Structure 1
Amino acid sequence: MRFLKYSLLAIVALMFIGAATVAGLYYYVKDDLPSVDTLKDVRFLTPMQVYTADGKLMSQFGEQRRIPLTLDEIPQSMIDAILATEDSRFYSHRGVDPIGVMRAFWVMVSTGEMREGASTITMQLARNFFLTRERVWMRKIKEAFIAVHIEQLLTKDEILELYLNKLELGHRAFGVGAAAQVYYGRDIHQLNLSEIATLAGMPQGPSILNPISNPAASVQRRRVVLARMLAENYITREQYDVAYRAPVSARYHVAELELSAPYLAEMVRQEMVDRFGVDDAYNGGYKVYTTVNSEQQLAAEYALRENLHAYDERHGYRGPEMRLWGIDPESLFSDENAQLQKLPDEDTLAIMMQNRGEPWAESDIIEYLERQPRFGRLQHAIVSDVHEKTVDVILRGGMRATLEWHHIDWARRYIDAERQGNAPQSAGEILNSGDHVLVRPVDDGYHLAQMPGPSSAIVALNPNDGALQSIVGGYSFNHSQFNRATQAKRQVGSSIKPFIYAAALERNFTLATLVNDAPITQWNPGSGSAWRPRNSPEVYDGPIRLREALARSKNVVSVRLIRELGVNQTADYMERFGFDPADVQRNESLSLGAASFTPLEMARGFAVFANGGYLVTPYFIDRIEDSDGNIVFQSEPSYACARCAAEAVGVEFTDDDHANEAILSEWNQAPRVISEQVAYLITEALQSAVWGGGSWANQTGWNGTAWRAQALRNRNLAGKTGTTNDVKDTWFVGYTRDIVAATWVGFDNLEFALGRSSLNSNLGRQRQPIVASEAGATTALPGWVTYMETALSQLEERPFELPPNMVSVRIDQPSGRLTNRTDHTSMFEYFIRGTEPKEFANPERRPQEVFEDDDGLF
């Protein structure tokens, strides 16, 4: 009895000491314990996602990949695997598992090492949110106290849901939803038992137990998880056996992007950082919906790349990227070879020195190709064999392909921007075995290619509200992050002329006004030289109507107009179109396009003509949603017309103003900057730039500079080419009622000109339709046409509506006066009421009333 008495007293004493110790420890650490109330309103760090207007994911930004799931969205097999492995008594303890604590204590006493942590799921949650992974007693004590607090605050299901979404599972995957995507590229509901067990085994050591970094360790851990699931009766023996023997199927999966638009995505990223700050923008779980149409965006990217390749192939082949064998490696460092090709890196040079000019082993070729960067659709390849008219190549991953003759016969030697070598007669004149080349996939195989020399940009917007429809700022974002569509201010050449002609129409000039198309020579006493602006081509037609002068881009006519209008007055007028005053040069060279604007600025300026005279503000974000789907930002664009606003919000619009009061009251109207009559007249002239005029049957027909756009077979197209005097910048800006697009092509290095090309006898004019000097019509316009083939297919073909206060009268084409004749010498012309001609043409005296500048320079 005495022994029993003392034993009970000892137990009571130990319990008292234990309780006192726990209480003492609690009061010792309580000031360091964080508040767990924040778990009631947890915001997981979720990446920002960027979507197109039609809901396709184009980019994802964030430090962590996470797909938050509710508990009922997580498969029961995943929950069972986690419970069996991490905390089988989760639903029976109060945050700390006494049995687990005693087991860990016994292991420590028996081995002298702290091998088991006895951490429950709640304790792990406490550590993941509030503590570190440092294996020390004080952290474990804090962990236990926090776990008890969590159990008092949250239900078991809430704790488990937070835990499964918070888990760090390697490769920047947080939570089981993201891990399923990262390791298997599938939704978590699509995983099989072996894959679920693999993920469930990773919380213990995500860096060393994940199936990508350490497949063997991952398999062993997966089998432990399966054994625990079998012991807890979560799976059958048959399921266990199948999953036990399953191979490792994991590999790294990037975010499943449905569309790649990196230049636009970068614009969104910068806007979101400016709006919310870096941390919140990247990790706040925002969904950003842009205004860009996915199909048009793909079309713009395709058009830009194909157009640059067409230019490059006209000008010849600059040779392979590098020779890997068939050459003395040490000779690469001679001055001559260093100028002709890239120098190898250390790994490549080591293999070249080892082989001493002999062909490489296939394993070395594959490893070399894996190291090469990716640029657009270009693929790296190594020439393995050269035949008479074909070339065999090895592609990334060891895949083999043959380049047929019609895919390499373009590759005559590049000499300089103005000259190309003779057309090759055999494949051996172009390539050698061991050449590292670039190819691009085409419908019937692979086409020999090279990284294009010049750069380009395409941007399109809706002229009725400024919403961007597509934007591409260069050939490849990986090659250059510089967005030429929004950042490159380049001289615009003749594409500036519509703004100057608009200023003239505001000053009572008409499309029928005659201006003398004759050479100009002006002596500059200060420089001791003469300024001689020239037409391109250098052809002068004498008196010419403004419609035809703009459509045919007559330079000297533009000079005469700016002299009459005044340089400062013209520059002030141009600022109406949204151009920065600092970019508008105030001298006569402004008439020839000396000003420098970005493609986006040019598209915005031309939108004024397309929408009837309103200056819209370009925008590319339609709305922003938070992680809960709440709209935190909705764009409020300014519209060019009430009908545009109604169509944008899906409201039926009629001509009854009373029925549209609701629309009109909420309508953000863009400012009117020019009259709708002037906008219409400029559009008329720019349609002539596409379709020309006169009578070909009577030998008076003429083409506008944009005649290649006729291939689109759309009578409502209007547009203007642009070429600088030195052919360093080429442009085309064109539009319909519902879209305006600007295309620019030029070298980033302002010292380089686009040059000219001669006929390649291998290709003929059918395969090489553009021969001669590069220009807006031949270099930029073809890319615009390719893009618009897709863009126009998505839009209703609508003519430009004739505005009020306009009249149409029949005029005599040579003189611009009224006529009663109905033959090829006459045409109907539009005028603002009151500006139409009042006198009839005199056939005996043509032309009459030719405009000439004050200096009388004809």
Structure 2
Amino acid sequence: MKIISKIAVMIAGVVIFVLFFFIGASITQTTPRLILMATGINDWEYIPKEQSIIYYNDETEMERIGYKRLYSDEFPQFMKDAIVAVEDRRFYQHLGFDAKGIGRALWMNIQTGTKAEGGSTITQQLSRTVFLTQERTYTRKIKEIFIATALEEKFSKDEILNIYLNEIYMGRGSSGMGAAARYYFAKDVMDLNRAQITMLVGIIQAPEFYNPENNFEGVRSRQQTVINILVDDGILSEEEGKKIAVQDLNIIPRESIQTKHPYYMAYLTSILEKDIDNEQLHRGGLKIYTTINSQMQNTAETTVKNHANQIKNRGIDANDIALVSIDPRNGSIRAMVGGVDFSRSQINMAVRPRQPGSAIKPLYYAAAMEHLLIEPDSVVNNKETDFGDYRPVNYSAAAPEEVSIREALVRSHNVASVEILSKLGVNRAVSYLREMNITSIEEDDIHLALGLGGMTKGISPLQLTSAYTIFPNKGQLVKAYTIKRIEDEDGRQLYMHRNQSKNIIRSNTATQMDSLLRNVVDYGTGTAAQIPITSGGKTGTTTDSRDLWYVGYTSELVTSLWVGNTDNRAITGFGVSGGGVAAPIFRDYMNTLYWLNIFEERPSPVLPSEEAHEEEDEIIDIEDETEENEDEIEEAIEDEIEEELEDIEDELYDEFEDIEEEFEDIEDEINNEIEDEENQIDNEIENLVVL
């Protein structure tokens, strides 16, 4: 069987060789200039690409991803010779495509049973590194040949080799020999010794496989293969080869790169690798604009770490916290934290489904209200009841036997909630949940236990946050997203987000649910989440307190908090509940954002109650009576004063008349006395005259 298999491989190799020989011969002999124009290489100039840049929503730089480059104009001659010998020994003879080289490589690989030599030329490798992908298809191979032919027509051999040495992927997130020298040996490429050069030349074939941390023996074995080729080609003597083979490589440990927002970056990268070719992403040169608000993200991470310490100090055994914030008006993800310490756990709990507990209740309450099965003040059974094979119980033994819908949600009564789900129907509830873009529902979840969050997988904080956006957004769900647009290095738009929205419930239903959820915060299980501006929300606590939830919102932001352990251990400690542990994290996070003036909304003025209105009316009546009394008093005083003034005037007039009469009497007396004196003087004068 082995002989037959080997013969079959040999025949296949011969067929492929003949096929590509004729393709290559046809191309290289007749149409290189036409291909140069057709491929666009004629207008292309090599410019080393920067890493791809990630931007916050305000278009300030967040992070860089992709292969790191250190461009170099020159490389050691020994490195050039070694690469040509190992990767493409006829590099200086062919015109981009080497039919003889492919045939020789196929024959040697068939003989040895290993891939000792590659079939692609250096120019072909450069073609797929810079312009294509690593997919193994005949279509890509043909494109590769055309581009390689165009490159050979445009550039000299030395120019092609220089571009190759600056672009070839070398592992450790680096492209090019300059970057490899830095990240493997902490050296400039011109300072590498021959042992280090042969190692680097060897790992070109499979950089991730020949990883020194995990496969140093393989690295040494591949280096020996390179040395053997160089000895066979006369580039090294046997003695030199033996010395190089035992020389220490002095590989430095891989750098531990501290990434900003590691959980979010892991999430973003996973999306980008789906939407964009992975090699194009890491090749670099892209500009990726996200929805993340830097202040919200930094506040979220700080708040999560602070509360992780507080929880530990309280003796609560919960090691992980996740937080997601979404703008309900447009579905944009504003902040995402998937854990407390990325170095300890790389599991992003922001996107990992968990049992939602009572946090699921508002979603099917809204569906029941939408179908007019319940109203906020209608009454429902809350007494322990058998629902077929399911018998839920309330947390409190003192729970009333009947409650209003409002009270059922505010106090999170379990029996009443299952009663509501039973009225609605589990299948209808599941249909609504799927409409809310919850994708983790299993067939086994179609059961009344769903009413208390009993699910096979659960719901991720991201999807639960998104579902809650219908309450502040008038029943409309805008699909959550985090990439606004992507541009290439020339500013060409590769992707632009378009909102996807749908109506889940009527605006009136959303308003009624908003009223209930505000009451949860006002005087229910969510009082620990109260903030300066109006908010609604719901707590959730699962069996054995394995998952603690609080999902809260304002008109501008919906935020979910999950607290638990990634290994699903039960949480132990005092005061372990969604309202006691998760809700305070929401409160502190939102309070910080409020004082940073992130929100447009400010506290509403307190509206007077009915009693206050009555008191105000009484005050107004008293004021009116007082005003009337003041008028009467004023009039009475004026009358009294007027009368007194008249009396005084009369008295003064009488006194004046008496004084006038007295004055006249006095005047008469004076006149009489003067007259008497005048008569007396006259008599005396007469007497004197007689004498």
CA separation in 2, counterparts of 1:454 and 1:299? Answer: 19
1:274 corresponds to which residue? 274
Maintained 8 Å contact 1:167/1:174: yes
Q: CA deviation at 1:735?
A: 0.7
> Residue deviations 1:345-404, cap 9 Å, x none?
xxxxxxxxxxxxxxxxxxxxxxxxxxxxxxxxxxxxxxxxxxxxxxxxxxxxxxxxxxxx
Maintained 8 Å contact 2:381/2:419: no
Task: Determine which of 588, 603, 619 is the counterpart of 1:786.
Answer: 588
Q: CA deviation at 1:179?
A: 9.1
Task: Determine which of 697, 700, 705 is the counterpart of 2:525.
Answer: 705
Task: Determine which of 482, 487, 497 is the counterpart of 2:361.
Answer: 497
CA separation in 2, counterparts of 1:56 and 1:626? Answer: 17
Q: CA deviation at 1:730?
A: 1.3
The yes-or-no answer on 1:626 pairing with 2:488 is yes
Maintained 8 Å contact 2:541/2:577: yes
Maintained 8 Å contact 1:571/1:584: no
> Residue deviations 1:659-718, cap 9 Å, x none?
xxxxxxxxxxx21111111111211221121122xxxxxxxxxxx1111122x322x111
When Rg is computed on C-alpha atoms for both structures, the one with the higher figure is 2
Q: CA deviation at 1:468?
A: 0.9
Maintained 8 Å contact 1:584/1:590: no
The yes-or-no answer on 1:50 pairing with 2:2 is no
1:105 corresponds to which residue? none
Q: CA deviation at 1:478?
A: 3.3
2:578 corresponds to which residue? 776
The yes-or-no answer on 1:558 pairing with 2:417 is yes
Task: Determine which of 432, 450, 458 is the counterpart of 1:590.
Answer: 450
Maintained 8 Å contact 2:65/2:284: no
* Higher helix proportion: 2
Q: CA deviation at 1:552?
A: 2.3
CA separation in 2, counterparts of 1:590 and 1:163? Answer: 58
Maintained 8 Å contact 2:319/2:340: no
Maintained 8 Å contact 2:376/2:406: yes
CA separation in 1, counterparts of 2:298 and 2:356? Answer: 26
Query: In 2 relative to 1, CA 629–779 (structure 1 residues): closer, same or farther, beyond 3 Å?
Result: same
2:599 corresponds to which residue? 796
The yes-or-no answer on 1:65 pairing with 2:32 is no
Three-state SS of the structure 1 residue aligned to 2:322 is: strand
CA separation in 1, counterparts of 2:579 and 2:545? Answer: 12
Three-state SS of the structure 1 residue aligned to 2:470 is: helix
The yes-or-no answer on 1:485 pairing with 2:350 is yes
> Residue deviations 1:23-51, cap 9 Å, x none?
xxxx9xx98xx999658444757644433
CA separation in 2, counterparts of 1:308 and 1:743? Answer: 12
Query: In 2 relative to 1, CA 168–203 (structure 1 residues): closer, same or farther, beyond 3 Å?
Result: farther
- Superposed, 1:193-204 pairs within 5 Å as 199=188, 201-202=190-191
2:516 corresponds to which residue? 685
Maintained 8 Å contact 1:511/1:685: no
Paired letter, 1:477: F
Query: In 2 relative to 1, CA 150–569 (structure 1 residues): closer, same or farther, beyond 3 Å?
Result: closer
Q: CA deviation at 1:533?
A: 1.6
Q: CA deviation at 1:67?
A: 6.4
Three-state SS of the structure 2 residue aligned to 1:487 is: coil
Q: Which runs of 5+ in 1 are unaligned?
A: 1-26, 69-77, 87-115, 186-197, 214-250, 317-451, 639-669, 693-703, 758-771, 802-807, 812-818, 824-858
1:603 corresponds to which residue? 465
Q: CA deviation at 1:776?
A: 0.6
- Superposed, 1:327-476 pairs within 5 Å as 453-476=318-341
Identity level (%): 28
Three-state SS of the structure 2 residue aligned to 1:590 is: helix
Q: CA deviation at 1:799?
A: 7.8
Three-state SS of the structure 2 residue aligned to 1:458 is: strand
The yes-or-no answer on 1:533 pairing with 2:364 is no
Three-state SS of the structure 1 residue aligned to 2:341 is: coil
Maintained 8 Å contact 2:51/2:65: yes
Query: In 2 relative to 1, CA 503–160 (structure 1 residues): closer, same or farther, beyond 3 Å?
Result: closer
Three-state SS of the structure 2 residue aligned to 1:609 is: coil
Aligned residues: CA RMSD: 5.1
Maintained 8 Å contact 2:170/2:180: yes
Maintained 8 Å contact 2:357/2:453: yes
> Residue deviations 1:55-80, cap 9 Å, x none?
45555444x41267xxxxxxxxx98x
CA separation in 2, counterparts of 1:737 and 1:585? Answer: 32
CA separation in 2, counterparts of 1:605 and 1:548? Answer: 22
Paired letter, 2:485: R
Q: CA deviation at 1:175?
A: 7.0
Maintained 8 Å contact 1:46/1:282: no
Query: In 2 relative to 1, CA 492–786 (structure 1 residues): closer, same or farther, beyond 3 Å?
Result: same
Q: CA deviation at 1:504?
A: 3.7
1:519 corresponds to which residue? 383
Q: Which runs of 5+ in 2 are unaligned?
A: 1-24, 96-121, 124-149, 200-211, 213-251, 616-691
Query: In 2 relative to 1, CA 456–255 (structure 1 residues): closer, same or farther, beyond 3 Å?
Result: closer
1:132 corresponds to which residue? 84
Q: CA deviation at 1:284?
A: 4.6
Q: CA deviation at 1:142?
A: 7.2
CA separation in 2, counterparts of 1:726 and 1:56? Answer: 44
Maintained 8 Å contact 1:168/1:203: no
Query: In 2 relative to 1, CA 612–795 (structure 1 residues): closer, same or farther, beyond 3 Å?
Result: farther
> Residue deviations 1:76-133, cap 9 Å, x none?
xx98xx6xx99xxxxxxxxxxxxxxxxxxxxxxxxxxxxx88x9xxxx7xx89xx625
CA separation in 1, counterparts of 2:443 and 2:509? Answer: 24
Maintained 8 Å contact 2:352/2:459: no
> Residue deviations 1:6-33, cap 9 Å, x none?
xxxxxxxxxxxxxxxxxxxxx9xx98xx
- Superposed, 1:743-782 pairs within 5 Å as 743-750=561-568, 752-757=569-574, 772=575, 774-782=576-584
Q: CA deviation at 1:736?
A: 0.9
Query: In 2 relative to 1, CA 514–177 (structure 1 residues): closer, same or farther, beyond 3 Å?
Result: same
Three-state SS of the structure 2 residue aligned to 1:289 is: strand
Query: In 2 relative to 1, CA 583–260 (structure 1 residues): closer, same or farther, beyond 3 Å?
Result: farther
CA separation in 2, counterparts of 1:290 and 1:798? Answer: 24
Maintained 8 Å contact 1:459/1:603: yes
Maintained 8 Å contact 1:517/1:540: no
Query: In 2 relative to 1, CA 634–168 (structure 1 residues): closer, same or farther, beyond 3 Å?
Result: closer
Q: CA deviation at 1:290?
A: 1.9
The yes-or-no answer on 1:293 pairing with 2:293 is yes
Maintained 8 Å contact 1:58/1:265: no
Three-state SS of the structure 1 residue aligned to 2:502 is: coil
Three-state SS of the structure 2 residue aligned to 1:721 is: strand
2:408 corresponds to which residue? 549
Maintained 8 Å contact 1:170/1:207: no
CA separation in 2, counterparts of 1:181 and 1:132? Answer: 22
Paired letter, 1:65: K
Maintained 8 Å contact 1:51/1:287: yes
* Higher strand proportion: 1
CA separation in 1, counterparts of 2:322 and 2:346? Answer: 12
Three-state SS of the structure 1 residue aligned to 2:504 is: coil
1:365 corresponds to which residue? none
Paired letter, 2:566: D
Paired letter, 1:465: N
Maintained 8 Å contact 1:306/1:783: no
Maintained 8 Å contact 1:49/1:57: yes
